[in-house]
Each structure stands twice: as C-alpha cells, then as structure tokens.
C-alpha cells in the first residue's frame, strides 16, 4: 500500500477551560500515564509495567469506557490516542485515582502516530467508538473510516486481531460496514453485513445511555484481521 494517508482532518480540536482535575492530569500526572513521542518508533515493552496484549483506542473522548476497560481487564494493556485536552486530563486524573499501570495516553493526531511512531503488529485490538460522523454529505470525506485508514490499521494489529467500531449514526454504520467488507484484510466475525450485539466488554457510556433514552440506536461492528 502507499504510505501516504490523506491529510484531510478527520477531527476538530476542541478547547475550553479545564478543571483543576483535568489540569492535574495533563501536568502533574502526565509522566505516569502520558507518552511523549520519540523521533522514531515507540517501544511499548518499556512503557507498560507488564508485557501483555495491547488494545488501541483512538478518539476516546472523556475516556469513561477506556477507563472502565482498563480497570476490569488488568491482563491487557490499553493505549488511548486523543487530541481533546479536557478528556485526556480527566482520563489521566481518574487513572491516577485507581493506580492503573496498564493504561497509557498519547496526545496527538492518531494517523500521524500510527504512520511514524508505531511498528507493525503492535496491537491485538483496535477500537473506534462513536467517532465524529460528519453527518453532512459534503463532509463525508472527513470521516476517519476510509480505505487508506484501514490499510494503515491492518498493518498495526496482529493477524487474527480484532477491529471494533461503534456508532449511533445509521448512515455512518452503513459506511463502516461497506468499507470494512470491501477491504481484503478484514472479515466480519458474524455473517456478511450483520452488525454485532454490543459485547459485554464495551461499557455503555453516559452519552450512549442518553441516546438510548431518546430512542437512538447503536451499531457495533466487529471484524478480524485476516491478512
């Protein structure tokens, strides 16, 4: 595949006033949980206390689901990549309270991190939960789930590894399904064009519960890397 992934921005950098806890997470506790990007590749074996399978989640928002997964699954390591400072600060602050040793955070553009700082077959699982749907048709090109992005992800997860996406926008769910099914390296864990029930390991966030009360549906897609 070509090493050039499109430069169209798939996220918006949100800013605002940070709470004391968020500031503490970004500043005081960053050395415990944050990863400062090196010039070359990241050596994850040196970053985590234990060498064990790594789950990567990008765009984790306020970090509620990633935090819960790290707490309830101590036999796995978790890496979150996000640009939203309030969410990063909050997640780190909460992780400090729970004294987690299996969670690390990168504050940067996920595509650039994966291209320049992550060696191939680094992750067992890739997660993308409720990414910006860019719901207007003229903005669909900004959606992160595109063939070139899947090309990149397929290299970074192990053969037999899992790619798990979730969205509450039906049109985006259809786009995800179509793009994943057309990709030669990914296979639906269920039959063709069938969405997965929410697995117990994916926590229901406050955002999702609020949507359920409003009658919003959620679509999960779980595929394996078969390259």
pLDDT in tens, 86-114: 999 999 999 999 999 999 999 999 999 99
Helix, strand, coil shares, percent, the chain, to 5:
35, 20, 45
**Where are the domains positioned within the chain?**
53-225
Secondary structure (3-state) at 210: helix
Q: Taking the model in full, what pTM does it have? A: 0.90
Q: What is the CA radius of gyration of the chain?
A: 17
Structure tokens at 175: 């786009």
pLDDT in tens, 136-168: 888 588 899 999 999 999 999 999 999 999 999
Which entry of 109, 132, 148, 220 is annotated as an active-site residue?
132
Tell me whether residue 132 is one of the annotated catalytic residues: yes
In this prediction, residue 15 has a pLDDT band, given cuts at 50, 70 and 90, of: low
In the CATH scheme, what is the homologous superfamily, with its name and number, of domain 53-225? Vaccinia Virus protein VP39 (3.40.50.150)
Give the pLDDT confidence score for residue 137 in this predicted structure: 81
Residue 134 near residue 169 (C-beta atoms within 8 A):
no
- Where does residue 197 rank: exposed (0-12), middle (13-18), buried (19+ CB within 10 A)? exposed
Q: What are phi and psi of 140, to 5 degrees?
A: -55, -30
For residue 133, pLDDT over 80 is answered with yes
Residue 137 near residue 199 (C-beta atoms within 8 A):
no
Residue 107 CB contacts under 8 Å (≥ 6 apart), including other chains: 34, 81, 82, 83, 85, 88
Whole-angstrom distance, CA of residue 167 vs CA of residue 87: 19
Whole-angstrom distance, CA of residue 117 vs CA of residue 106: 11
Q: What are phi and psi of 69, to 5 degrees?
A: -65, -40
Whole-Å CA distances, 126 to 55, 136, 182:
6, 26, 18
């Amino acid at each position: 595949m070509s090493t050039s992934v499109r430069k169209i921005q798939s996220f918006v950098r949100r800013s605002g006033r940070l709470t004391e806890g968020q500031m503490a997470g970004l500043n005081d506790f960053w050395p415990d949980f944050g990863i400062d990007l090196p010039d070359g590749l990241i050596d994850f074996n040196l970053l985590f206390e234990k060498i064990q399978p790594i789950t990567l989640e990008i765009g984790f928002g306020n970090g509620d689901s990633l935090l819960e997964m790290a707490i309830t699954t101590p036999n796995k390591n978790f890496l979150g990549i996000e640009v939203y400072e309030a969410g990063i600060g909050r997640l780190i602050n909460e992780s400090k309270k729970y004294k987690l040793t299996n969670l690390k955070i990168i504050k940067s553009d996920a595509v650039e991190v994966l291209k320049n700082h992550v060696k191939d077959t680094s992750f067992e699982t890739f997660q993308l939960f409720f990414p910006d749907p860019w719901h207007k048709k003229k903005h669909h090109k900004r959606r992160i789930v595109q063939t070139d992005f899947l090309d990149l992800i397929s290299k970074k997860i192990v053969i037999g590894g899992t790619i798990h996406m979730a969205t509450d926008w039906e049109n985006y769910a259809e786009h995800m399904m179509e793009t994943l099914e057309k990709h030669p390296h990914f296979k639906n864990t269920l039959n063709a064009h069938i969405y997965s029930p929410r697995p117990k390991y994916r926590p229901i966030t406050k955002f999702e519960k609020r949507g359920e009360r409003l009658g919003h549906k959620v679509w999960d897609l779980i595929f394996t890397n078969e390259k």
